[in-house]
Structure 1
């Protein structure tokens, strides 16, 4: 039974990219918040809500030195468990040198209210993440490396590598993005799925007053049989609307 929920790797897309809008608090500090409504919550292209909608919020306090702390929350829906929400603690440092920027951070993923049943494991875990970005207008090249000493479901060491690019189009300020990544897990049997390849392409368009919309296609090479008979690893289209302050 735990095999079905262990296919869910959880994450945070907001970690390394500061939002466009910020509220100046003085003394070099600023705060940024984002609220999102999305048709599905995926992490590394695996649904966290069993292909259902999610409401999410993120808050970040940053300093002009580059250090930041933050939090992220979302509803989740894991099969055969009482986990219904995810609340993450985030911290790190980011810096930009000319066209190059990096972000070194850490996330602790927690699931308040979750109680492990017989045959299940703790699903909370810790991950360190390095994100790199190089801007060459109108293209931005990005890369991500993430490591967990004990990944989701106590599945041992986990590694994630991803690369991609963002292209700013001259039409409506649309940004077209593409990503490819690969997830390694030490204990695949406990995790409930093999190491896998993930890919996505999506577009983001600013609207007004801090609102933006996005639509994209997300997929993995995990078959339904390898995904515990669930459709959470299937290819899917996702649409979302976000408001940032």
Structure 2
């Protein structure tokens, strides 16, 4: 299992630092467009909570979309969860993208998997794997001095991670285009979980403010991330819900 993580990390890092054709590329005659985005990051935060015990992450995303708007994709990252043997996350994504009245819509689903993770009988551990249905929307406000995009998302799982019942996540945000290829962004989200005692925290909010700089085929992002969970509320007192600065570098192909 560890060899798989090292191989995925090496692959993603190699893509991130090597040369190549910028932007997604089309397969002629098929209507398919493929995009690859490797990332190296100082942490892996999911809804404001560290998935790597406050350590760095090497990640990769693959997106394959047809001209009809239907797409499939995958995301891979290293992870570390206290008290488990999970070392990698591989997510499968599928859905449909379209534009209506200037609003970009993405209707899809995400399956979160952790290959190699074992939940021994009688251990008291619950299943990490789960899936969500997701709706995302974005709209660029016209006739403004600078580009301004508003974003929204809603995710629902009928049986959230650790078998905690219904999980609902609502998020809104804004992105503002600035001179010198800079983008200022902000997000605010809220997570509801049916079985909070099993999950390990109350329902919680998270937010972030980021500044991104695009150069060549790369995007460098630095930001501030936080949740409203205090140490006592954060998964048996772990230090993975605290405010933090984060930086990550992505390359698009």
Does TM-score exceed 0.5, indicating one fold?
A: yes
Q: Residue 198 of structure 2: SS of its match in structure 1? A: helix
1:99 Cα offset (Å):
2.6
Choose the corresponding residue for 1:111, options 108, 111, 114: 114
Residue among 159, 178, 183 paired with 1:150:
159
Matched, 1:169 2:171: no
Q: Hey, what's the Cα distance between the residues in 2 that align with 1:120 and 1:185? A: 18
Work out whether 1:219 is the aligned partner of 2:219.
Answer: no
TM-score computed with the length of structure 2 as normaliser: 0.87
Q: Does 1:141 align with 2:144?
A: no
Aligned 1:95-106 pairs, distance under 5 A: 95-106=98-109
Aligned counterparts of 1:223 and 1:199: Cα–Cα separation in 2: 15
Structure with the largest fraction of helix: 2
Deviations 1:139-159 (A, max 9, x none): 100000000000011011000
Larger RCO (alpha carbons 8 Å, 6+ apart)? 1
Which of 178, 181, 185 lines up with 2:186 in the alignment?
178
Q: Give SS of 2:202's match.
A: coil
Q: Give the structure 1 partner of residue 3 of structure 2.
A: none
Contact 1:76 1:83 (C-alpha < 8 Å) held by counterparts: yes
Deviations 1:114-139 (A, max 9, x none): 11140100100000110011101511
Q: Which runs of 5+ in 2 are unaligned?
A: 1-21
CA displacement at 1:97 relative to structure 2: 3.2
TM-score by length of 1: 0.89
The corresponding residue for 1:198 is 206
Give every structure 1 segment of 4 or more consecutive aligned residues whose post-TM-superposition deviation is greater than 4 Å.
none
1:3-59 alpha-carbon deviations (Å, 9 max, x no partner): xxxxxxxxxxxxxxxxx8211102211110010000000010000001100000111
Secondary structure, counterpart of 1:225 in structure 2? helix
Q: Is the 8 A contact 2:181 2:215 kept in 1?
A: no
- How big is the alpha-carbon RMSD for the aligned residues of Structure 1 and Structure 2? 1.0
Match of 2:97 in 1: 94
Say whether 1:64 aligns with 2:71.
Answer: no
* Structure 1: runs of 5 or more not aligned: 1-19
Secondary structure of the residue that 1:200 maps to in structure 2? strand
Give yes or no for contact 1:99–1:136 (8 Å, CA) kept in 2. no
In 1, Cα distance between equivalents of 2:124 and 2:101: 51
Partner residue in 2 for 1:125 = 130
1:4 matched to which residue of 2? none
Larger Cα-atom Rg: 2
User: 1:98 Cα deviation (Å)?
Assistant: 4.9
| 1-structure distance, mates of 2:233, 2:219 | 35
